[in-house]
A and B are shown apart, each in its own frame.
Chain A
Amino acid sequence: MAGATRTRLVREDTSGADAVAALAVGVASVLFGLGLAAMFEVVGLTGTLAGVPTLPLLGGLLLVQGVAVVVFGVGSRFGAVETNPRPDAGIVAAVAFTLIWLVVGGLVASQVLGLGLAGWLLGAILTGAAGFAATVLPREDVGSTLPAGVVTALVGLVFLSGYIAPTSVWDLGWEQKASLTAEFMVPVVTVFCALLTGWAAAKAYGGFGARGRRVGAYLLVYLNAAAIVGVLFALVAFTVFKGVPGLFRGLTFGPGVGPESTVALFGASVTFSWPVYLPFAMNGVGLLNDLNGVLPAIVGTFWLVVGAVLFAVPLGVGAAIFLTEYAERGRFTQVVEVATNGLWSTPSIVFGLFGFAFLIPRFGNGKSLLAGMLTLGFMLLPLVVITSREAMLSVPDEYRDASAALGVTKWQTIRSVVLPAALPGVVTGTILGVGRIAGETAPILLTMAGGVFVPGSQTADVIGGFQFTAAPPFVSNPELLQATSALPYQLYALITAGVGASGNVGNPDQFRWATALILLLVVLSFYAVGIVTRYYFRRKLDYE
């Protein structure tokens, strides 16, 4: 009974204060949103918002927010609000507030008071020390609210006072001209103050102390995670939004509207027309085309991926088998491990340089599809080794022992026990790696890529290209030794070519965004497949 009464009492005591703290968090989130909106020019600083001019509105909100946070902290100090704070606000908060106050002091001394170097340095150090003292000396409730609240209130006052106009500009006076504009600084400062006071208010909401710190930190951590996911969505959505008109231009359905394809198998050939016509993905660039497209680049990317996988996967899986099953664990395996990890973090442009110096002289002294395939294969190889090794190491030793107990040889054990068990890991890793190399531009820039606008007639036909010749090397495939295009290179070429060179594709901007979208679709579909595969295998393993 006593417990129940006490709970009710505590709730009554703190509900008002809790509400104030929660309200402060709410105001902070409103400010955060407004700041972001202003940064991306959804809300103009010169305009009005709900009948009030934007800048004073922001200033007023900041002032209210700052004062509220300070009042809460001081109120807690004098026992008006029941909290359980620590003796001080902690070293992280102290460092952060010291830096903030250093900057504030320096800015005020140099810009407002117009002091010289010594003057503003002194000012900065003085305010920085004050910030430090205000954080460390008082109890946590004051230490974590007062410095944050005062900064915010000050900023609010500056915005309110009209000292800054929405069009203000501060020339930094550098040799290469650059200025800070109110247009940029006001939203940034607003967002910053919102975060600062939001954190302080969340801490207050948790009643300071260990619990308060947890609430404050979780607010920031959750916000960070949400921001990352938000940026991801924004990027993808923006590309889709800009790319869709170009991609689906001229899309028609119906029997026989598409281009003709011939499939030849064992002497018999079947010719049929596609029932879909998507010009952007089915045409090259040509004068006679009604609508131009990037078919050669799509086919080029396809063959690149096929070539790189054919080269890297057998090699990588083989190396992983040797390292995990045959080699003794020692210096050799360690060196190989360090080497593969080093290879994996080597910048892609270095692979391009290597392909340029090593492969190109060996494949007919010109950029070629084959050189591109091998360069990307070199890039993919370390990832295949690393993921295959991980997958094989995670196969339990009991499996191997059980197989060995049946009296089979080591290789039979590997082939029928270890490899099947490790397959999911290998497949997933490879798919994710392929997604990565399919979008790489830098390596193929130096080894494979040709012109900006590739006509449809130059679409690589690798299978039909093999010929036997009398002179060494006896087998040749001119298609493999030709420069061609790939989606990432196509996009790069379109960007650098500028508007002048792209006159023959009608609407160059639409063409570029559609290329970006199709590249994104290709790469992300690899990732989607990889992630789904992993999920599928893991669920299977979980329930087994």
Chain B
Amino acid sequence: MAQATSEDTDAEALGHLVRRFRNFVDETDREALAVVGVMTAALLTAFVGFLAVSSYTIVPFAVFLVTASYGWLRHQGLTARLLTLTMTVSTILILILITAFIFVEAVPVVFYESATVFGIEIPGLRMFIQPEWDAVSSPIRYSMVPMIHGTVMVTLVATAVAAPLGVAAALFLSEIAPRTVRELVKPGVEILAGIPSIVYGFIGFTVLSPWASDQFNILGQGTYLFVGVVVGLMALPTVVSVAEDALNSVPESMKSGSLAVGTTDWQTMTSITLPAAFSGVSAAVLLGVGRAIGETMAATVMLRGVPKLTDPLYNVFYGQETLTSLIARNYGEADGLQMDALFVAGVILFVTVLVISVGSQYVEWRMRKKFGGDV
């Protein structure tokens, strides 16, 4: 039943669109319509040409530029509207292109790494059921298990650092700090986000890694523990700013109501503000997790670059490889299947982070709805 209704509304929406389009064609004068038509056609041709790697792409693009400038002079309103629509569409197109290209590039190795379970061949399964990555000597295996393990380890440590410190800092900034202190600390947190990841990685590589090797009597350098700490520091600003927004969005009347009953401000925070903003704060932590998963350079520089599982699995003192650092380290000499395997790592990262992002947006959306603000 639900299916049918949604199809009905889809059909209705389509009909509505067609009607609007007809109206638009009827209302606009011929010349403007021609300009708009030529612009659209030229842009579409240019896009197709670009996708097809044609060196003549520039011709339709030039046509588009010329018609756009003519339209800008004669029919500015309409041209502006069309141009802004084009820009919106291209934003979505980029996301679609990213998805399409990294998925397509990943396909060959997925078929290479097929595994048979109960007589059924499942493509790509062998990447996840055995932990061997060997791109050089036979049998050549591209397992994602060690890298997933590494990413999980780093993300766990990073979350353990970023989540509590970030939420506490957000509470401080939004509820506790006097105005002058806030004006100092807030830019500080932003600058922390601004320090390039390679600088964090460099400091980690030259200072933290040797120190850690010395402190824990580790063979060689590179530990998931300290990569996680550094990555957590880098995810901290994301958590702080999103959680602060969530705390600020709790209506002032709720806080005042609580304070008027005679609670201390700390009681108001723990029993009113934090629970009310809980979904927003968890979205902040989720986004921080997403940042930590995607962090590349610090991990690449500080890890060992040997794709294998640590022994035992919870040995945080040895850092092998994460999904991101695998790509950054191997893109140079990789070709063929190995390059495709890097794209598989990219797909895993992309999908995971996208799911996290959409999930946190859903959580935030629900929270805004709850407080009756505009959605």
> A residues within 8 Å of B by Cβ?
169, 171, 174-181, 183-184, 210-211, 213-214, 217-218, 220-222, 224-225, 227-229, 231-232, 235-236, 238-239, 314-316, 318-319, 321-323, 325-327, 335-354, 356-358, 361-362, 378, 381-382, 385, 409-412, 414-415, 432, 435-436, 438-442, 445-446, 471-475, 488, 491-492, 495-496, 512, 516, 519-520, 523-524, 526-527, 531
Are A495 and B327 touching (Cβ within 8 A)? no
* B254 interface contact, C-beta 8 A: no
Contact of B197 among A213, A326, A361, A439 (CB under 8 A): A439
Residues on the B chain within 8 Å of A222, using CB: 172, 176
Q: Across the A-B interface, how many residue pairs have beta carbons closer than 8 Å?
A: 301
| Additional 11 contacts, C-beta under 8 A, given A321-B80, A446-B327 | A214-B267, A336-B88, A337-B361, A339-B95, A350-B350, A353-B102, A358-B98, A415-B80, A439-B195, A472-B59, A491-B202
What are the residues of chain A within 8 A of B216 when measuring CB–CB? 178-181, 184
CB nearest neighbor in A for B80: A411
A422 → B minimal CB distance (Å): 14
Question: In the complex the two chains form, is B217's CB within 8 Å of A181's CB?
Answer: yes
Looking at chain A's contact residues, the main secondary structure is helix
Q: Which residues of chain A are within 8 angstroms of B266 by Cβ–Cβ distance?
A: 210, 213-214, 217-218
Check B101 against A358 for contact (C-beta < 8 Å).
yes
- Let me know if B165 is at the binding interface, CB within 8 A: yes
Please, which residues of chain A bring their CB within 8 A of the CB of B219? 176-177
The residue that A178 contacts in the complex, of B197, B202, B218, with Cβ under 8 A, is B218
Interchain residue pairs A-B with the least CB separation, the first 7: A347-B294, A439-B196, A318-B87, A322-B84, A175-B311, A411-B77, A214-B266
10 residue pairs A–B, Cβ–Cβ below 8 Å: A178-B217, A224-B168, A228-B188, A346-B350, A347-B324, A441-B296, A442-B297, A492-B297, A495-B201, A495-B205
Contact of A354 among B86, B102, B169, B202 (CB under 8 A): B102
Which residues on the A side are within 8 Å of B318 (C-beta)?
A: 176, 178
Say yes or no: A345-B356 contact (C-beta < 8 A), given A222-B172, A361-B53: yes
Contact B84 A527 (CB under 8 A): no
A472 touches B58 (CB 8 A): yes
Is A345's CB under 8 angstroms from B169's CB? no
Q: Give the CA-CA distance A456 to B221 in the complex, in Å.
A: 35
By a CB distance below 8 angstroms, the chain B residues around A327 are 88
> Are B328 and A349 neighbours in the complex by a CB distance under 8 Å?
yes
Interface centre among B169, B217, B331, by most A CB within 10 Å?
A: B217
A325 to B357 Cα, complex, angstroms: 26
- Nearest Cβ in chain A — how far from B117, in angstroms? 29
Whether A346 lies near B98 (C-beta < 8 A) is yes
Say which residue of A214, A356, A492 sits within 8 Å of B331 (CB atoms).
Answer: A356
B256 beta carbon closer than 8 Å to chain A: no
A339 touches B77 (CB 8 A): no
Find chain B residues with CB under 8 A from A336 CB.
88, 91-92
Q: A314: which B residues are within 8 A, CB to CB?
A: 87
Cβ contacts under 8 Å, A339 to chain B: 91-92, 95
In the complex, chain B residues 289-304 whose Cβ is within 8 Å of any chain A Cβ: 290-291, 293-297, 300-301
Q: Report the separation of the CA atoms of residues A348 and B216 in the bound assembly, to the nearest whole angstrom.
A: 32
- Decide if B349 touches A350 in the complex (CB within 8 Å): yes
Per the CB 8 Å criterion, the residue count for chain B at the interface is 101
A375, chain B: closest CB distance, angstroms:
11
Contacts of A524 in B (CB 8 A): 191, 194-195
Chain B residues close to A by CB (< 8 Å): 50, 53, 55-59, 76-77, 80-81, 83-88, 90-92, 94-95, 97-98, 101-102, 104-105, 165, 168-169, 171-173, 176-177, 181, 184-185, 187-203, 205, 207, 215-219, 233, 236, 263-267, 287, 290-291, 293-297, 300-301, 310-312, 315, 317-318, 324, 327-328, 331, 342-343, 346, 349-350, 353-354, 356-358, 361
**Are B81 and A322 within 8 A (Cβ)?**
yes
Output the nearest chain B residue to A515 by Cβ-Cβ distance.
B202
Is there an interface contact between A347 and B296, defined as CB atoms closer than 8 Å? Answer: yes
CB distance from B28 to the nearest CB of A (A): 14
- Measured CB to CB, the closest approach of chain B to A239, in angstroms, equals 7
| Bound CA–CA A176/B202 (angstroms) | 25
Q: Are A318 and B84 in contact (CB under 8 A)?
A: yes
Q: Which residues of B contact A358 (CB under 8 A)?
A: 97-98, 101
Q: With CB as the reference atom, state the residue of chain B lying closest to A321.
A: B84
B87/A315 in contact, CB under 8 A: yes
Which of A220, A232, A350 touches B188 (beta carbons < 8 Å)?
Answer: A232
Residues of B within 8 A of A353 (CB): 102, 105, 327, 342-343, 346
> Which B residues lie within 8 Å of A225 (CB)?
168-169, 172-173, 177, 181, 185
A357-B194 contact given A221-B171, A347-B293, A349-B346, CB 8 Å threshold: no
Q: Is the CB of B296 within 8 A of A442?
A: yes
Contact B217 A492 (CB under 8 A): no
Q: Which residues of A contact B354 (CB under 8 A)?
A: 342, 345-346
Which residues on the A side are within 8 Å of B102 (C-beta)? 350, 353-354, 357
- Chain B residue at smallest Cβ distance from A183: B215
B220 to chain A, nearest CB (A): 10
Contact, CB under 8 Å: A176 / B317? yes
- CB–CB B296/A473 < 8 A: no
Q: Once the chains bind, are B91 and A382 in contact (CB under 8 Å)?
A: yes
User: Are A224 and B165 touching (Cβ within 8 A)?
Assistant: yes
Residues A523 and B198 in contact, CB atoms below 8 Å apart: no
CB distance from A449 to the nearest CB of B (A): 10
B294 CB to nearest chain A CB (Å): 3
